[in-house]
Amino acid sequence: MANQNDSDMLDNYDFSGGVRGKYAKRYSEGTNLICLDEDVAAMFSTSEEVNSALRSLGEIIRHHESIGLAKDSNPLREEAKVG
């Protein structure tokens, strides 16, 4: 009987060709995955575009801080320090 909560689940799966612990080392090293809101994700087609935009924003923030603008005015940065 297929999973009643998920119509995509099959009754049986064949893991006979699987490799135990194949990704264990990578998993134990941790990841830094984030989930973008749908409206934000719609602005980008690749992760490279997201990274480029964030790098540019980071440079702008650092520049503003270096000239005395926006110093310690980002409440999200303060939340990140706490949590």
Range of the domain at 77: 36-82
Span 35-53, pLDDT tens digits: 899 999 999 999 999 999 9
Task: For residue range 68-83, list pLDDT tens digits in order.
Answer: 887 565 556 655 555 4
Centre a 10 Å sphere on the Cβ of residue 18 and count the other Cβ atoms it contains.
Answer: 9
Burial class (CB in 10 A: 0-12, 13-18, 19+), 45: exposed
Residue 49 placed within a domain: yes
Is residue 3 one of the residues assigned to a domain? no
Domain count, the chain: 1
Specify whether the CB–CB gap between 10 and 2 falls below 8 A.
yes
60 assigned to some structural domain: yes
Report if residue 47 sits inside a domain.
yes
The verdict on residue 28 lying in a domain is: no
Give me the percent of the chain exceeding a pLDDT of 90: 43
pTM above 0.85, yes or no: no
In a domain, 62, yes or no: yes
- Helices then strands, each counted (H, E), the chain: 4, 0
Q: Identify whether 78 is part of a domain.
A: yes
Question: Shortest CA distance to 33 belongs to which of 51, 49, 15?
Answer: 51
**Rounded distance, CA 34 to CA 28, Å?**
17
